[in-house]
Amino acid sequence: MNRIALAASLAAVAATSVAFPSHAQYPDRPLKLVVPWAAGGDTDNIFRPFAPLMQKHFGQTVVIANVGGASGTKGAKEVKDAPADGYTVLGVHDYIHSTYYTGVADVNHADFEPICLVASTPSVLTASPKTAWSDMKGLLADAKARPGQISVGATLGSTSHFFPALVEKATGVKFKYVSYEGLAPRMNAILGGHIDLTDSNLTQKGKVEAGQLKFLGIAAEKRNPEMPNVPTLKELGVNVVYDVNRGLVAPKATPAPALAKLETACLAAAKEPAFAAAMKLQGTEVRLMDRKAYGAWLKQNDDLNRTISKDLGLLKR
């Protein structure tokens, strides 16, 4: 008899919580953070240490879901179509502009509400250990001798495509592109020598120190204190500065109170010393922008990407 009463009361509790979700205080269930690339890639490496800190300030579990595919746009579409209830966010970076202008997908930054920008990672031109050249000069000489023969692993239409394309434009060489989605699969391919070049960043410095990879040049204004012996592309006479900026966005029409809560939690998490320490290991700078500043930056960056797509001959809109 007791057991039946218990079961009945449990059922009643369950029914109420299902029937009246609006009575609960936001947030009352876990937050899903969609990382639109495979696990173990650089975007994943940046949001993994971020998630527990976000969880601390958000007050609910933060679950990372890796939804890779179609140059990161599969995950973006999933978030775009998710209910705008403040329980799904996208870990986004500059690809959201480039994939739109190169015609990979119809989803763009305007489909989302900005929350905050957290990190900025300069791109590094990276070569396979099986290649003959040891520096940028060697690469350029070889590339001029064999136009269209040096293979670059890239997520087509995304940042890892734009960065080498900018190098092509600045130096007048021509590469050959092979589709490898996300940094993790590109690493397998470049370590095995199946591609010659790729865009990566200082998250891979362990492999360079172990002699498994070669960093040719970093696309930043200044050398990075984590790896001061890697020259900037500018020093080498290649006028390319390129970085990948990562932040959180939510589906359009997410209610303002939820956005405010997400923004507060996101900013607080990114200010934690633990996040700075984790980002230092990834060769990444903590770059903070609140909702408003991030929104303005996204618009500006969108124009910039349109211009780059046009300059590179990749513009499809």
Partner 1 sequence: MFELLGAGLANIVQAKYLVPLFIGTLVGVVGGALPGITITMTVIVVLPFTFGLEPLQGLAAMIGVYVGGETGGLITSCLLGIPGKPSAVATTFDGFPMAKAGEPGRALWLGVWASIFGGLLGAVFLVASTGPLATLALAFGPWEYFSLFILALSMVAGLVESSLVKGLLSGAIGCVVTILGNDPVMGKERLTLGIKFLEGGIPFLPVLIGVFAFAQIMSEVQRMGGGRKALQAVDRGLSLAVSHLRVMWEILSRPVLLLWSTFIGLVIGVLPAIGGSAANMLAYDQAKKFSSRPEKFGTGIPEGIIASEASNNANVAGSLVTIMAFGIPGDAVTAVMLGALTIHGIQSGPLFISQNATLAYGMFAAYIVAHAVALAILLPGVRWMLRIVDIPKAILFPVVVVLCVIGAYALNNTVDNVYVLLVFGVFGYGMVKFGFPLAPFILGVILGDQIEINLIRAVMSDSDPWLFLTRPISGGLLLASVLSFAAALWQHRRVQNRTAAAQGDADF
Nearer to partner 1, 26 or 177 (CB): 177
Tell me how far, at minimum, the Cβ of 241 lies from partner 1, in Å.
Answer: 28
272 C-beta neighbours (distance < 10 Å), count: 18
Least CB distance to partner 1 at residue 39 (A): 4
| Smallest separation, CB 233 to partner 1 (Å) | 25
Nearest-approach distance from CB 234 to partner 1, in angstroms: 31
Q: Between residue 4 and residue 43, which ones bind partner 1 under the rule CB under 8 A?
A: 32, 38-41
Q: CB of 169: closest distance to partner 1 in angstroms?
A: 21
Q: Which of 42, 57, 62, 77 binds partner 1 (CB under 8 A)?
A: 77
Under the criterion CB under 8 A, does residue 195 sit at the interface with partner 1?
Answer: yes
Q: Say whether residue 49 binds partner 1 (CB under 8 A).
A: no
The answer to whether 81 contacts partner 1 (rule: CB under 8 A) is yes
Nearer to partner 1, 128 or 232 (CB): 128
Give the pair of three-digit tokens for residue 55.
């969880």
Minimum distance of partner 1 from residue 192's CB (angstroms): 4
How far is the C-alpha of 165 from the C-alpha of 152, rounded, in Å?
10
Contact call for residue 248 and partner 1 (CB under 8 A): no
CB of 317 to partner 1, least distance (A): 14
Is there binding between residue 64 and partner 1 (CB under 8 A)?
A: yes
Residue 73 or 305: the one with the smaller Cβ distance to partner 1 is 73
Q: How far is CA 50 from the centre of its chain?
A: 13
What lies within 8 Å, CB to CB, of 35 at 6+ separation is 43, 44, 47, 64, 65, 66, 67, 75, 91
Stretch that binds partner 1, among 68-76, 133-141, 165-173, 244-252 (CB under 8 A): 68-76
315 interacts with partner 1 by CB under 8 A: no
Strand order of the sheet with strand 151-154? 176-179, 151-154, 197-200, 124-127, 214-218
Minimum gap (Å) between residue 107 Cβ and partner 1: 10
194 binds partner 1 (CB under 8 A): yes
CA angle 29, 34, 36 (to 5 degrees): 175
250 binding partner 1? (CB under 8 A): no
Smallest gap from residue 235 Cβ to partner 1 (A): 31
CA distance 195 to 80: 33
Residue 192 as a binder of partner 1 (CB under 8 A): the answer is yes
Whole-angstrom distance, CA of residue 160 vs CA of residue 156: 7
Contacts of partner 1 in 143-182 (CB under 8 A): 151, 156-157, 176-181
84 binds partner 1 (CB under 8 A): no
Q: Kindly state the number of chain residues that form the binding site for partner 1, as judged by CB under 8 A.
A: 40
Q: List residues binding partner 1 (CB under 8 A).
A: 32, 38-41, 44, 48, 64-67, 69-71, 73-74, 77-78, 81, 99, 103-105, 151, 156-157, 176-181, 184, 187-189, 191-192, 194-195
